[in-house]
Amino acid sequence: MVICAATGNAGKLKELRRILSALGHEVKSQKELGINLEPEETGTTFEENALIKAEAICKASGLATIADDSGLVVEALGGAPGVYSARYCGRHGDDAANNRKLMENMAGIDAGRRGAKFVSAVTLMLPDGRQLTCLGECPGRVGMEEKGTNGFGYDPLFIPDEVGTRDGKRLPNREGRTYAQLEDWEKDAISHRGNALRKLQQMLPLFLG
**What's the average model confidence in pLDDT over 69-94?**
96
Question: What CATH number matches the domain at 2-208, 3.40.50.300, 1.10.4160.10, 1.10.3720.10, 3.90.950.10?
Answer: 3.90.950.10
pLDDT in tens, 88-114: 999 998 999 999 999 999 999 999 999
Instruction: List 114's β-bridge partners, or say none.
Output: none
d(CA 23, CA 50): 20
pLDDT of 181 over the 90 cut? yes
Would you list the domain boundaries of the chain?
A: 2-208
Is 94 a catalytic site residue? no
pLDDT in tens, 123-155: 999 999 999 999 999 999 999 999 999 999 999
**What's the average model confidence in pLDDT over 175-204?**
96
Rounded mean pLDDT of the chain? 95
Given 69, 95, 155, 188, the catalytic residue? 69
Of the candidates 145, 200, 132, which has an alpha carbon nearest to the alpha carbon of residue 176? 145
